[in-house]
Amino acid sequence: VSFYNQSSDDGPVFPTPTIGMLGVLDDIATITTSDFKQPGDLIYLIGESVNDIASSQYLASYHKILEAPAPHFDLDKEYAMHQVIKQLIKHQVIQSAHDVSDGGLFIALVESSMPNGLGFGIESDSAVRKDAFLFGEAQGRVVVSISPEEQERFIELMATSEVDFSLLGSVSNGDLTIDEESFGNIMDVKLVYDNVLHVILGE
């Protein structure tokens, strides 16, 4: 872990602590990946959305504010959320699971969409600022997708916990829509994502 990095003309490079983990999967049938599986699957957010953009990529890259408090984090709620995610996976209720971290909810949705060329149509939470809802990096949230046939079982299992959850929308054939506003197609986004390093290097 390096907590010191050489400075550049634009200021110090962010510290880059890295954790490598290796685990044992008791049942291969419970492998749960982060990618959306098929159009029509329902997309849920597990965990609480809050009005927080502290130390987010959005705050640093768009607003150029590099000094901010740590993102919102509640250890007890984080623990409870992980316990319910484990149960959803154990009982094979969900098709995919992706944590909300760097870049916020929007990036998690895009990363779940790209592997299979799928998209999403979601509605934002009117009780939360839209920038915080989409780009805030508050901890304790996971995006999951489920087949419509599993919705009742999903809700029943979630009801046994005290963890917040909300229906975001559904998986699409590739279009990206938020509050009925189009943000293009996932294949165009993937093209930029796959080639951005070549563009930066001028190749």
Question: What are the tens digits of pLDDT across the range 46-70?
Answer: 999 999 999 999 999 999 998 899 9
How far, in Å, CA of 137 to CA of 56, rounded?
6
**What H or E segment, with its residue span, contains residue 46?**
strand 42-46
The pLDDT tens digits of the residues spanning 134-179 come to 999 999 999 999 999 999 999 999 999 999 999 999 999 999 999 9
pLDDT of residue 36: 98
Which residues fall within 8 angstroms of residue 58, CB to CB, at 6 or more apart? Answer: 103, 104, 131, 135, 136
Q: Is the pLDDT reported for residue 8 higher than 70?
A: no
pLDDT of residue 26: 85
Q: How confident is the model at residue 4 (pLDDT cuts 50, 70, 90)?
A: low
Average pLDDT rounded to a whole number, residues 29-35: 93
Return the DSSP state at 180. Answer: T
Which residues fall within 8 angstroms of residue 30, CB to CB, at 6 or more apart? Answer: 89, 90, 92
Give the CA count within 13 Å in the CB-facing half-sphere of 122.
27
